[in-house]
Chain A
């Protein structure tokens, strides 16, 4: 089974915060990491390969420094990695991103299964998986929480819904986006780390993937960000002070009023 996993480098969400005084993003100590959902996508790809044979190729579109997460993917069991990187890709919205990724994946050849994280934690759109499936003319299922059976024709899986889950049988080739419940990602192995150190990771440019430049980056993006501003803080608040007992008494009163009486 030929499996492609798409991953993205994102700022580590737990480090990102707003400076309350200047209302700007505090970058201090913000690391770049693999999008957390993509770790589960990688693990699922490697797990399925181990069970059913085949190969896992990890693809990331991003700036040159995204090579770091591709090396990490290899240390966690991926066979090959490809960086898709070109200044022409900058400013891409999800429509331009799915075009770029689909061109890169078509270059890889016949693919049976593409696995993506449900969404990336920087944009939180969850739109790239479905859009990519359309461009690759694949069936797709989002929010997969369990993959139970894989044959050479179909995959049987569970899709998380708002009110429970659906058991779904999907024809191959297919694209899946996965949620965290799908598996527990492994840590890099010593052998994997050694492999990652010497891995040959090609970098595809817009020309390499035969892309129509008009469909790339900012120019190929129908959506435009017209304004960026900090979220509004709420105005009035009361800070309760006093001894622990006094504070607890006031809290109990507020709780009674706003829940039971309210």
Chain B
């Protein structure tokens, strides 16, 4: 629970101002905590007189030294290595170097082919492969059991996976069976001076960033947001070891059966791979208003993006949603039209090269991350730009 040192507390109210849950209040000159407290620790970070602490019994730790090495789950589906795998090997290289350990990739599939060589070229020192017909289609229990069994055999200190549909589905199962912590959708990973993995992610709807650790359990597990980490330059001359593993057949029996896989999105709405993305938000006001965004995107040969608000209003479909619960884009040009700049959206587009924001509210937070801003009326400015581009 949150302990308030009433002798130290000066009643300044910084804790109250910074509590995301409205759980702490200053009453009669001293801070008082209520039932709403989730022990997130935001108040402690802001307290200038160190009057707040969280009382936590120290867990009798496991033998941390028994766990060593950095692992990356190599996502492979429909004959394709998910691009995030290379990004994970990029950040994994740094983490492994800092820890003085090897970087391994884990490949679960029906048939590995040239994939291990590609993973080694991308930075893996070791590739563990499990080839089994039961792994042809992705099912949570078969994939989860395979990764769990390998983790218990080799005891890696860190396991990273992409925060993709597959990674976010079966990695929580592995963390639960291993009884360890898992941090979702990380946007930054570092080894601290304490030797632990410091995992940073947007928290509380992305309005604050939180750094999370798993100090007393192993492995330390993270899913990592695609298109955030930098992949290594592929180097075909790198050498590495490929270790073929077998998982007990009964562990690969799934209670789910994939009847068929339908691949639809690759050509349709490839906003994650577009050089230009023109996005619209609530400021477009109506479905008709949103058409201006589509027209501009069309003229620039770009893709159409949208905020959650625009998708919720049915102006455009979910595959176009950019942000924390949608897609991440890193385009050359990102044009944000009528978008306020809620961090849930920003996290999905801020790594774009040039960001242009058009909004009538000069205080809109989108301007904080924009390279060029226009404070004005979309319904005047967009048609005028469209006219100019048509010439």
Bound Cα distance from A94 to B275, whole angstroms: 37
Asked if A168 and B257 make an inter-chain contact with CB atoms under 8 angstroms apart, the answer reads yes
Number of A-B pairs, beta carbon distance below 8 Å: 308
Known: A141-B140, A142-B140. A95 touches B365 (CB 8 A): no
Bound Cα distance from A103 to B84, whole angstroms: 36
Bound Cα distance from A125 to B306, whole angstroms: 22
CB closest residue in chain B, given A14 = B309
Bound Cα distance from A64 to B23, whole angstroms: 13
- Interface flag for A77 (CB, 8 Å): no
Interface residues on chain B, size class: 35 or more
Name the distance in Å between A21's Cβ and chain B's nearest Cβ: 9
Asked if B56 and A218 make an inter-chain contact with CB atoms under 8 angstroms apart, the answer reads yes
In chain B, positions 51-91 with a C-beta closer than 8 Å to chain A are 54, 56-57, 59, 77-78, 82
Chain A CB within 10 Å, residue with most, of B82, B165, B344, B350: B165
Contact of B169 (CB < 8 Å), options: A130, A217, A225, A258: A130
- Interface flag for B18 (CB, 8 Å): yes
Which B residues touch A109, using CB under 8 A? none
Bound Cα distance from A221 to B41, whole angstroms: 14
Bound Cα distance from A229 to B44, whole angstroms: 12
Name the distance in Å between A165's Cβ and chain B's nearest Cβ: 5
Asked if B56 and A248 make an inter-chain contact with CB atoms under 8 angstroms apart, the answer reads no
Bound Cα distance from A169 to B122, whole angstroms: 36
- Interface flag for B42 (CB, 8 Å): yes
Asked if A244 and B384 make an inter-chain contact with CB atoms under 8 angstroms apart, the answer reads yes
- Interface flag for B242 (CB, 8 Å): no
Contact of A24 (CB < 8 Å), options: B18, B168, B254: B18
Bound Cα distance from A233 to B256, whole angstroms: 45
Which A residues touch B388, using CB under 8 A? 248-249, 251-252
Interface of B is mostly: mixed
Which B residues touch A135, using CB under 8 A? 176
Bound Cα distance from A74 to B381, whole angstroms: 48
Q: Of B126-134, B232-240, B371-379, which stretch is located at the interface?
A: B371-379
Q: Produce 1/0 per residue, A200-243, CB < 8 A to B.
A: 00000000000000000111011111111111011011111000
- Interface flag for B100 (CB, 8 Å): no
- Interface flag for B45 (CB, 8 Å): yes
Supply 17 A–B pairs (Cβ within 8 Å), ascending by A.
A20-B365, A24-B17, A95-B176, A122-B205, A124-B202, A124-B206, A124-B325, A139-B140, A142-B165, A163-B264, A166-B258, A168-B259, A181-B318, A222-B180, A245-B384, A259-B276, A260-B301
- Residues of A bordering B, CB below 8 Å: 11, 13-14, 16-18, 20, 22, 24-25, 27, 30, 63-65, 87, 90-91, 93-95, 98, 119, 121-131, 133-135, 139-143, 156, 160-171, 174, 180-181, 217-219, 221-231, 233-234, 236-240, 244-245, 247-249, 251-252, 254-256, 258-260, 262
Query: Can you name 13 extra interface pairs (CB under 8 A) apart from A170-B256, A259-B301, A259-B302?
Result: A18-B343, A20-B368, A27-B20, A127-B184, A161-B261, A164-B262, A222-B217, A229-B209, A233-B368, A234-B369, A237-B367, A237-B368, A251-B356
